[in-house]
A = this chain, B = another copy of it.
Amino acid sequence: MPKIAVLPGDGIGQEIIPQAVRVLKAVLAEADADFEFQDYPVGGAAIELVGKALPDETLQGCREADAVLLGAVGGHQWDHLPASERPETAALLGLRKGLNFYANIRPVRMIPSLLATSTLKEDVLDGVDMVVIRELTGGVYFGEKGRSDNPRSAYDKMSYSEEEIRRILVQGFETAMLRNKKLCSVDKANVLETSRLWREIANELAKEYPEVELTHMYVDNAAMQLVRNPKQFDVIVTENMFGDILTDLASMLGGSIGMLSSASLSGSQGMYEPAHGSAPDIAGKNLANPLATILSAALMLRYSFGMEAEALRIENAVEKVLEQGYRTGDLAQAGDKVVGTIEMGDAVLAAL
Contact = CB atoms under 8 A, between A and B. Distances in A.
Interface string A146-169: 110001111111111111000000
Contacts of A242: 245
How many chain copies? 2
Given A119-B121, A152-B161, A163-B151, A220 B194 contact: no
Nearest to A163: B151
B196 A154 contact: yes
16 contacts: A119-B124, A120-B121, A140-B158, A141-B191, A147-B196, A153-B159, A153-B160, A154-B193, A156-B193, A157-B158, A158-B158, A221-B248, A223-B248, A224-B249, A226-B249, A227-B252
A197 B153 contact: yes
A244 interface: yes
A84 B151 CA distance: 30
A252 B223 CA distance: 10
A190 B86 CA distance: 8
Interface of A: 83, 86, 88-89, 93, 119-121, 124, 140-141, 143, 145-147, 151-163, 188-194, 196-197, 200-201, 219-221, 223-224, 226-229, 241-242, 244-249, 251-252, 257
B252 A190 contact: no
Contacts of A153: 159-162, 197
A93 to B, nearest CB: 7
A202 to B, nearest CB: 13
A76 to B, nearest CB: 13
A70 B220 CA distance: 20
A156 B158 contact: yes
Nearest to A201: B152
Contacts of A155: 143, 157-160, 193-194
Given A119-B228, A224-B251, A190 B157 contact: no
A190 B251 CA distance: 20
A141 B190 CA distance: 10
Contacts of A219: 244-245
A196 B161 contact: no
A154 B159 contact: yes
A82 B192 CA distance: 12
